[in-house]
Amino acid sequence: MVATDIVTASIPDLLRLVAVPALGWAAWRDIKTRRVPNQAWLPLLGVALLALAVEVWQVWTGATVGYVNQRAYFLRVMISIGFVVPLAYGFWWIGGFGGADAKALITLAVLFPTFPTYLFPDFALPVVVPTLGVFAMSVLSNTVVVGLFYPVALTLRNAAGGHVAKAMVIGRPVATERVTEEYGRLLQTPDGFTRRGLDLDALRMYLSWRGASFAELRADPDAFRDPATIPAETNPPGDGAITVTDGGRPTPEDDAAADDPSVDADDEDPAEETEIADPWGAEQFFEEIEGSAYGTTPEQLREGLTVLTSDDEVWITPGIPFLVPMFLGLVLGLTYGDVLYAVIEGLGVF
């Protein structure tokens, strides 16, 4: 136990606080790039194993300052590691979590198998500790609660801006020329609204593979629709991150054509895609790249490119990086405790 004028806590619980800046950094990086390097979790996992080893030894030998029920403690450790860890992996396996999301939850399950305790002169944190007492489960439930506010905020923002549409609950409109600067997924096809539109990472991969800029694509969609215009030597597609950017460099003429109001994609009469064996070279793209383009299909790519070369404004769903509500859920857990448990208890269920 370490006691200061401000807070009193065990050494393992103090070590665990390193998760706050670490997960905060990961959440910030997830917002900016939608990528968190694997190496980011290794130091935190090392701290988790160290804290767990020290705490297990303290509980086993009775070296804890206060009374700890050994049976309850080890049961909670077993639930956290034996249930939450496989749960996180399972969510990743079925596509519910991204890789970084699963690794974050797995790390938290090892780092916080039980609720930590921080004693201040006049109060103790967390405030609400559920009967189960598995902290990682509470972080997960807090994450879900925080995430529920996102579509509400998005809807209010769209309504305030006069953007009222079916997609306003899960998306927002952006100027088409700026979609390569965004993360997310199109919510449109030529037939209208869809939840499974073109992934914008896949769009950047396609542009990089083809060696073309988005301005070039929009300036001459008929040429790009013809697979015969694909270079004999294509480029590596990359991973679609915004730092990869477009594969080509727009020329001044391309920029002028893209900005010239007299050149309106809506006024053009593109050739029927059914007349071309492989419109946009979509099939060739997926045959040549290694792996998957974030689950995108050739049909989704074709439909997305058709929308992006004909509309000046499109709806996208930016999604919310799961690490952001998870970080907020962690902070809530360390301060207030289990929000969902408090709500259910307040309703008289418990």
HEC sequence for 316-343: EECCCCCHHHHHHHHHHHHHCECHHHHH
Residue 161 lies in a domain: no
* Contact call for residues 198 and 333 (beta carbons, < 8 A): no
pLDDT (0 to 100) of residue 261? 37
Split at pLDDT 50, 70, 90, the class of 3 is: low
**With bands split at pLDDT 50, 70 and 90, how would you rate the model's confidence at 264?**
very low
Side chain identity at 328, as an amino acid letter?
L
Least confident segment among 90-104, 133-147, 195-209, 294-308 = 90-104
Q: Is 273 inside a domain boundary? A: yes
Q: State the CB neighbour count (10 A cutoff) for residue 248.
A: 18
| Last-in-domain residue among 126, 155, 189 | 126
State the pTM of this model: 0.78
Residue 161, SS3? coil
pLDDT at 5: 64
What is the DSSP secondary structure assignment for residue 172, as one 8-state letter? E
Kindly state whether residues 98 and 212 are assigned to the same domain.
no
pLDDT tens digits along 227-241: 999 999 999 999 888
105-109, 147-151, 257-261, 282-286 — which is least confidently predicted? 257-261
- 281 & 189 share domain: yes
**Is residue 284 assigned to a domain?**
yes
Structural domain contains residue 243: yes
Q: Percentage of residues in the chain with pLDDT exceeding 70? A: 89
How many C-beta atoms lie closer than 10 Å to residue 26's C-beta? Answer: 26
Is 188 found in the same domain as 270?
Answer: yes
Residue 139 phi, psi (nearest 5): -60, -40
What percent of the chain shows pLDDT beyond 90? 67
**Residue 227 resides in a domain:** yes
Q: Quote the domain boundaries for residue 115.
A: 2-126
199-225: average pLDDT: 95
Reduce the DSSP state of residue 2 to 3 states and report it.
Answer: strand
Residue 321 pLDDT class (50, 70, 90 cuts): confident
- Does the pLDDT at position 257 exceed 70? no
Task: Tell which of 58, 91, 126 closes a domain.
Answer: 126
> In this model, does residue 268 exceed pLDDT 70?
no
How far is it, in rounded angstroms, from Cα 238 to Cα 203?
11
User: Do residues 210 and 232 make contact, with C-beta atoms less than 8 angstroms apart?
Assistant: no
What total number of domains does the chain contain?
2
For residue 67, what pLDDT is reported? 82
The residue that leads in pLDDT, 77 or 294, is 77
Residue 252 scores a pLDDT above 50: no
Is 344 part of a structural domain of the chain? Answer: no
pLDDT at position 350 is 61
* Whether residue 284 sits in one domain with residue 200: yes
CB 218 within 8 A of CB 258: yes
Q: What is the pLDDT at residue 256?
A: 39
Whether residue 187 is found in the same domain as residue 122: no
How many alpha carbons lie under 13 Å from residue 248 in its C-beta half-sphere? 19
What is the Cα–Cα distance from 286 to 339, expressed in whole angstroms?
Answer: 45
C-alpha span between 309 and 167 (Å, rounded):
20
Three-state SS annotation for 79-138: HHHHHHHHHHHHHHHCCCCCHHHHHHHHHHHHHCCCCCCEECCCCEECCECCCCCCHHHH
Report the distance separating Cα 196 and Cα 299, nearest Å. 11
Predicted confidence (pLDDT) at residue 254 exceeds the cutoff of 90: no
d(CA 143, CA 322): 8
H/E segment holding residue 287: helix 282-288
In this structure, is residue 331 part of a structural domain?
A: no
Side-chain half-sphere CA neighbours of 68 within 13 A: 23
